């Protein structure tokens, strides 16, 4: 299906059908806002062009040293004779001609090298591939009605193209320094009027700018370098109803202490930043702690906090405290020496042990009367297939676990959330939102 790469120059002596010379991404990539009307063949051609341009296969090996037979000519040629013995020079000349032919077309090579080195074209290509992957779910779903044939149908072909795009993006991530192809994403979430302490009726929005760094392919714990659909959907819901998610100060916290909010597996920090921006709108000053484990993720998380809360006063503390926190080996020194009113987590279960580790952490960090909001992606295919079910396995339902002598974390509410257009990856079939509390406070 795919062109495997730029094959070099078109030799005049070759009978093989020539491969098109790659073209500039800005001139060949189709607008993504028309993706739903773009054919499978067009996307295939676009991805083939990118692979041919930026990741061509290595050139064929040079031929071994050619041994040319010695010419055994007579000392004197007969005058007028046009017959010269074929000593092998003619065939050797043809062979050398075949290998030296590319040198005659070095201008084409130079043009491709200049195109590959163009930073604007490269950035445009990376942004396009990233955008295509982000929006690909609906494009694939449009073809699900045509799922016949030995190759699996149009939807299968499109899913394979999404995999090819992901592979190309990974090649970009290993080919350059990370800072050169990180993607800045801007999110806007309508803010509900229930967060308006001043009684203003006008619609307001929460705006968040995040740096999505490329994943480190050699380290699966670096997934937090990117914003995942679960955090986006949960952030939208929190902004739409802060009181439902217990982010508005209650009477117990307004006069006696500050509201304490913790995010587990914060990644890019979207949930914490949204919570902090909502608090700023209502002139509340909660304690917000955003945590993760991987050093590169923590560095990117700090960068995102600083971007969204710029301050010319270096002595002014940022509204979010970024901390390292290991789910498997949790620490309970400051700021984890006091329990939290609200714990947030999105798409944090991507290993069979994660739900168990997280439960152990929440048991030691959630105060009585507090709430743990967790959204997980439902993946029924791929390497993370079925991991969402581990949450139900570890947290019993409040309906079947009445209040007893020992406090137990239970699922107070659970909601199935469908995919939203333009958000989510191909392997995500939907999402589950859990409201988890101590059984004594359900």
| SS3 at position 194 | helix
Q: Looking at the structure, tell me whether residues 161 and 208 fall in a common domain.
A: no
Distance CA 213, CA 300 (A): 8
CA-only gyration radius of the chain, Å: 30
Q: Which of 353, 388, 390, 348 is nearest to 372 (CA)?
A: 348
Q: Best-predicted range by mean pLDDT among 274-283, 316-325, 363-372?
A: 363-372
- Contact predicate 120/403, CB 8 Å: no
Beta bridge partners of 324: 292
Long-range contacts formed by 136-144: CB under 8 A, 24+ apart: 136/35, 136/162, 136/165, 136/426, 137/419, 137/421, 137/422, 137/424, 137/425, 137/426, 137/428, 138/35, 138/36, 138/421, 138/422, 139/35, 139/36, 139/38, 139/43, 140/426, 142/36, 143/40
- List all residues 6 or more positions away from 309 whose beta carbon is below 8 Å from its beta carbon: 276, 318, 319, 320
Question: Does 407 map to a domain?
Answer: yes
Q: Looking at the structure, tell me whether residues 134 and 160 fall in a common domain.
A: yes
- List all residues 6 or more positions away from 327 whose beta carbon is below 8 Å from its beta carbon: 264, 265, 293, 354, 357, 358, 360, 361
pLDDT in tens, 195-231: 655 444 456 899 999 988 765 444 444 455 567 889 9
What does the pLDDT average to over 128-145? 88
- Contact predicate 168/190, CB 8 Å: no
Distance CA 259, CA 339 (A): 10
What is the pLDDT at residue 177?
A: 46
Q: Considering the chain, what is the average pLDDT of its residues?
A: 79
What does the pLDDT average to over 394-402? 85
Q: Which helix (H) or strand (E) holds 340?
A: strand 340-346
pLDDT in tens, 344-369: 999 999 899 999 999 999 999 999 99
Question: Does 19 map to a domain?
Answer: no
Beta bridge partners of 76: none
Question: What Å distances lie between residue 77 and 74, 86, 90, 187, CA to CA?
Answer: 6, 15, 19, 87
Q: At residue 391, does pLDDT exceed 90? A: yes
Helix ranges (DSSP H) in 332-372: 354-365
The answer to whether the Cα torsion of 408, 320, 335, 229 is positive or negative is positive
310, exposed or middle or buried, with CB in 10 Å at 0-12, 13-18, 19+?
A: exposed
Q: Looking at the structure, tell me whether residues 167 and 205 fall in a common domain.
A: no
Which of 180, 211, 228 is the last residue in one of the domains? 180
Please give the span between the terminal C-alpha atoms of the chain, in angstroms, as a whole number.
55
Q: At residue 250, does pLDDT exceed 50? A: yes
pLDDT in tens, 13-48: 333 334 578 898 988 899 998 999 999 999 999 999
pTM above 0.85, yes or no: no
Question: Does 76 map to a domain?
Answer: no
What does the pLDDT average to over 64-93? 46
- List all residues 6 or more positions away from 8 whose beta carbon is below 8 Å from its beta carbon: 59, 102
Distance CA 305, CA 297 (A): 12
Q: Which of 391, 178, 181, 190 is nearest to 296 (CA)?
A: 178
How many domains does the chain divide into? 2
Q: Looking at the structure, tell me whether residues 113 and 203 fall in a common domain.
A: no
Q: Which band of pLDDT confidence, cut at 50, 70 and 90, is reported for residue 3?
A: very low
Q: At residue 88, does pLDDT exceed 60? A: no
Q: Looking at the structure, tell me whether residues 176 and 195 fall in a common domain.
A: no
Q: Which band of pLDDT confidence, cut at 50, 70 and 90, is reported for residue 6?
A: very low
| SS3 at position 227 | coil
Q: Which of 42, 49, 56 is nearest to 26 (CA)?
A: 49
Question: Does 3 map to a domain?
Answer: no
Q: At residue 268, does pLDDT exceed 80? A: yes
Q: At residue 321, does pLDDT exceed 60? A: yes
CATH number of the domain enclosing 301: 3.40.50.150
Distance CA 351, CA 364 (A): 21
Q: Looking at the structure, tell me whether residues 133 and 237 fall in a common domain.
A: no
DSSP 26: H
Q: Looking at the structure, tell me whether residues 356 and 426 fall in a common domain.
A: yes
> pLDDT above 90 covers what percent of the chain?
48
Range of the domain at 162: 25-60+102-180
Please calculate the CA angle 185-186-191 and round it to the nearest 5 degrees.
145
Strands (E), 166-284: 183-191, 204-212, 260-264
Question: Does 330 map to a domain?
Answer: yes
Q: Looking at the structure, tell me whether residues 412 and 326 fall in a common domain.
A: yes
Q: Looking at the structure, tell me whether residues 233 and 351 fall in a common domain.
A: yes
| SS3 at position 342 | strand
Q: Which of 229, 236, 240 is nearest to 431 (CA)?
A: 229
Which segment of 174-183, 214-223, 229-238, 428-437 scores lowest on mean pLDDT?
214-223
Question: Does 9 map to a domain?
Answer: no
Q: Looking at the structure, tell me whether residues 310 and 388 fall in a common domain.
A: yes
Distance CA 172, CA 112 (A): 17
Beta bridge partners of 436: 372, 411
Which of 180, 196, 224 is the last residue in one of the domains? 180
What is the pLDDT at residue 81?
A: 44
- Does residue 57 come out as left (phi exceeding 0), alpha (psi in the -120 to 50 range) or beta? beta
Question: Does 176 map to a domain?
Answer: yes
Question: Does 72 map to a domain?
Answer: no
Q: Which comes out higher in pLDDT, residue 95 or 297?
A: 297
Which of 180, 211, 230 is the last residue in one of the domains? 180
Q: Looking at the structure, tell me whether residues 347 and 265 fall in a common domain.
A: yes
Q: Looking at the structure, tell me whether residues 139 and 252 fall in a common domain.
A: no
Both structure tokens of 316:
């002014």
């Amino acid at each position: 299906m795919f062109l495997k790469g730029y094959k070099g120059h078109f030799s005049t002596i070759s009978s093989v059908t020539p491969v098109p010379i790659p073209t500039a991404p800005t001139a060949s990539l189709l607008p993504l806002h028309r993706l739903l009307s773009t054919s499978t063949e067009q996307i295939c051609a676009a991805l083939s062009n990118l692979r041919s341009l930026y990741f061509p296969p290595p050139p064929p090996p040079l031929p071994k040293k050619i041994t040319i037979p010695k010419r055994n000519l007579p000392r004197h040629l007969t005058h007028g004779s046009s017959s010269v013995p074929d000593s092998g020079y003619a065939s050797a000349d043809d062979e050398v001609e075949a290998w030296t032919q590319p040198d005659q077309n070095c201008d084409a090579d130079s043009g491709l090298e200049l195109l590959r080195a163009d930073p604007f074209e490269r950035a445009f290509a990376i942004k396009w591939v990233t955008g295509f992957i982000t929006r690909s779910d609906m494009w694939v779903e449009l073809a699900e009605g045509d799922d016949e044939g030995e190759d699996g149908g149009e939807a299968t072909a499109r899913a394979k193209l999404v995999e090819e795009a992901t592979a190309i993006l990974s090649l970009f991530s290993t080919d350059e320094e990370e800072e050169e192809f990180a993607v800045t994403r801007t999110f806007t979430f309508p803010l509900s009027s229930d967060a308006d302490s001043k009684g203003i009726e006008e619609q307001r929005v929460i705006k968040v700018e995040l740096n999505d760094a490329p994943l480190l392919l050699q380290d699966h714990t670096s997934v937090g370098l990117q914003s995942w659909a679960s955090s986006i959907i949960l952030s939208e819901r929190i902004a739409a109803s802060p009181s439902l998610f217990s982010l508005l100060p209650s009477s117990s916290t307004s006069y006696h202490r500050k509201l304490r909010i913790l995010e587990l597996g914060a990644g890019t920090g979207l949930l914490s930043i949204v919570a902090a921006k909502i608090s700023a709108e209502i002139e509340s000053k909660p304690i917000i702690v955003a945590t993760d484990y991987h050093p590169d993720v923590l560095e990117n998380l700090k960068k995102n906090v600083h971007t969204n809360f710029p301050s010319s006063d270096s002595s002014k503390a940022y509204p979010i405290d970024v901390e390292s926190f290991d789910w498997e080996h949790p620490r309970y020194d400051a700021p984890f020496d006091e329990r939290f009113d609200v714990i947030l987590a999105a798409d944090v279960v991507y290993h069979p042990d994660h739900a168990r580790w997280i439960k152990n952490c929440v048991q030691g960090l959630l105060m009585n009367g507090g709430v743990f909001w967790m959204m997980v992606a439902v993946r029924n295919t791929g390497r993370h297939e079925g991991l969402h079910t581990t949450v139900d396995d570890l947290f019993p339902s409040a309906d079947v676990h009445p209040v007893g002598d020992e406090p137990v974390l239970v699922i107070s509410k659970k909601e199935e959330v469908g995919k939203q257009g333009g958000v989510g990856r191909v392997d995500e079939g939907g999402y589950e939102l859990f409201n988890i509390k101590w059984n004594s406070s359900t």
